[in-house]
């Protein structure tokens, strides 16, 4: 404001007062930016902080953005994407989107609300849309003689479920859902389209895909408390009842039992692993099970020596055994054996008709986390099959 008026009075002899205008004080100014001179060291970037930021995106545990790299299942190729998570007093909202180079994708959102202080009871509401872009159908049974054909399956789901964590190792769930499947042409144009190889009369569910109302329940026992734990067991059972809303005769139920057991052989770096899955789809009286809901074997998740979804029927099981040897912090070698079979029902399966494949593999990734796995499988429908996927386990 132009300065400050300063006045003083003489202390001796009643001297006269005098005043003068004090110069205004200039506001402080930021120092000019420092430019490093040639030859002087520049502050180094904290590489560890950058690495922690990147790995934090893939850890997918905290609120905020996270990244995902992996597979969406057999036939969908490598998928990239991510999501966002936010926690509030009302619950946890998680959104996610993943897309692959084969035009497969998964988009979903899930809201989970704890019903008690300990979080043992929880309610979740979720919606999702998933497209499996390159699925295969070669007929039904353990010896399919049909023409290999391709199709794409898009599934829209809305689900409400309650979860009860009865103990640290036991979890149960119950819920209802609406499921709308839709068939379309495979994005792999080198494969014969499904409608060209088969007629609607030959393949149940090919002509009509109604909306299904689903009631489901499940339970899981998991003794693993740490991702680095070498010995643990996981045992799960899931039941689903499907009722088509168009009364097209597609009412059925499915039961899936899964067992996984890892045993450390003297040291955490040597593990003997077992994995088994049994699935049964049972139609209601006078009804049928659509082919795309029937269990299938073949590919990098079951019989690795055979092409994906090579065998399909209302009943299926497979057993996998594997020896893993960790040779580096981020690398393991494996030797495996797969056994399985499909049929209209379990009583129709024969022990002398088991399907088998075996081979060796290399697993790249941190113990207990997702990583890149490459298997060389033998004993299938071709002499040697190379299987590559994002998984450190089965």
Going by the DSSP 8-state scheme, the letter that residue 168 receives in this structure is: T
Q: What percent of the chain has pLDDT over 70?
A: 82
Q: What is the pLDDT of residue 3?
A: 47
Answer with the residue of higher pLDDT: 116 or 39. Answer: 116
Instruction: Over range 324-349, report the average pLDDT.
Output: 94
CATH code reported for the domain at 48-390: 2.40.160.50
Residue 145 has pLDDT above 50, yes or no: yes
Q: What is the pLDDT of residue 11?
A: 38
- Cβ-based neighbours of 335, under 8 Å, separated by 6 or more: 322, 323, 359, 360, 361
Beta strands in 16-120 (DSSP E): 18-22, 64-71, 78-88, 91-100, 105-114
Instruction: Over range 358-375, report the average pLDDT.
Output: 84
50-105 pLDDT tens trace:
445 555 555 667 899 999 887 788 888 889 999 999 999 899 999 999 999 999 99
Domain boundaries, the chain: 48-390
Q: What percent of the chain has pLDDT over 90?
A: 66
Give the distance, in angstroms, between the CA of residue 330 and the centroid of all CA atoms in the same chain: 21
Q: What is the pLDDT of residue 381?
A: 86
Residue 29 has pLDDT above 70, yes or no: no
Residue 116 has pLDDT above 50, yes or no: yes
Kindly report the average pLDDT of the chain as a whole number. Answer: 86
- Nearest to residue 324, comparing CAs of 215, 230, 390? 230
Residue 271 has pLDDT above 50, yes or no: yes
Answer with the residue of higher pLDDT: 26 or 270. Answer: 270
179-219 pLDDT tens trace:
999 999 999 999 999 999 899 988 999 999 999 999 999 99
135-139 contact pairs (CB < 8 A, 24+)? 135/75, 135/186, 135/292, 135/308, 135/309, 136/75, 136/191, 136/307, 136/308, 136/309, 136/310, 137/194, 137/197, 137/198, 137/203, 137/291, 137/309, 137/312, 138/309, 138/310, 138/311, 138/312, 139/312
Q: Do 332 and 371 touch, CB atoms closer than 8 A?
A: no
Lowest-confidence pick of 60-64, 158-162, 346-350: 60-64
Q: What is the pLDDT of residue 6?
A: 42
Neighbouring CB atoms inside 10 A of 264's CB total 14
**pLDDT confidence of 142, banded at 50, 70, 90?**
confident
What SS3 class is residue 367?
coil
- Cβ-based neighbours of 66, under 8 Å, separated by 6 or more: 57, 58, 59, 60, 82, 83, 84, 85
Q: What is the pLDDT of residue 35?
A: 53
Answer with the residue of higher pLDDT: 14 or 82. Answer: 82
Residue-wise DSSP of 133-165: EEEEE--SBSS--SPPEEEEEEEEEEEEEEEEE
């Amino acid at each position: 404001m132009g300065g400050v008026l300063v006045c003083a009075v003489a202390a001796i002899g009643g001297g006269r007062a005098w005043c003068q205008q004090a110069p205004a004080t200039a506001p402080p100014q930021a120092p000019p930016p420092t430019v490093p001179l040639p030859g002087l060291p520049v502050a180094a970037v904290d590489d560890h902080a950058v690495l922690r930021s990147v790995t934090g995106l893939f850890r997918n545990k905290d609120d905020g953005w996270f990244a995902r790299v992996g597979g969406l299942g057999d036939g969908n190729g490598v998928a990239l994407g991510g999501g966002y998570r936010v926690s509030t007093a009302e619950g946890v909202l998680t959104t996610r989107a993943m897309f692959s180079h084969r035009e497969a994708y998964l988009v979903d959102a899930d809201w989970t609300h704890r019903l008690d202080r300990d979080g043992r009871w929880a309610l979740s509401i979720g919606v999702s849309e998933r497209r499996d872009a390159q699925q295969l159908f070669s007929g039904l049974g353990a010896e399919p003689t049909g023409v290999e054909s391709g199709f794409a399956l898009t599934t829209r789901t809305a689900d409400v479920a309650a979860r009860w964590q009865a103990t640290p190792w036991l979890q149960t769930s119950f819920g209802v859902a609406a499921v709308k499947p839709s068939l379309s042409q495979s994005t792999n144009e080198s494969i014969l389209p499904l409608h060209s190889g088969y007629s609607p009369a030959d393949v149940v569910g090919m002509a009509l895909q109604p909306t299904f109302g689903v009631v489901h329940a499940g339970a899981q026992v998991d003794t693993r408390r740490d991702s680095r734990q070498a010995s643990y067991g996981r045992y799960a059972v899931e039941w689903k009842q499907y009722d088509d809303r168009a009364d097209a005769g597609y009412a059925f139920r499915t039961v899936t039992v899964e067992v996984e057991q890892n045993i450390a052989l003297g040291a955490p770096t040597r593990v003997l692993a077992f994995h088994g899955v049994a699935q049964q789809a049972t139609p209601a009286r006078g009804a049928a099970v659509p082919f795309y809901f029937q269990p299938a074997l073949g590919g990098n998740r079951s019989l690795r020596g055979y092409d994906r979804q090579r065998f399909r029927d209302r009943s299926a099981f497979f057993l996998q055994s594997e020896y893993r040897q960790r040779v580096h912090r981020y690398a393991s070698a494996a030797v495996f054996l797969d056994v399985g079979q499909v049929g209209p029902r379990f009583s129709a399966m024969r022990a002398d008709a088991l399907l088998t494949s075996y081979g060796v593999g290399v697993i790249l990734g941190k113990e207990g986390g997702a990583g890149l796995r490459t298997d060389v499988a033998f004993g299938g429908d071709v002499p040697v099959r190379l299987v590559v996927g994002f998984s450190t386990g089965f």
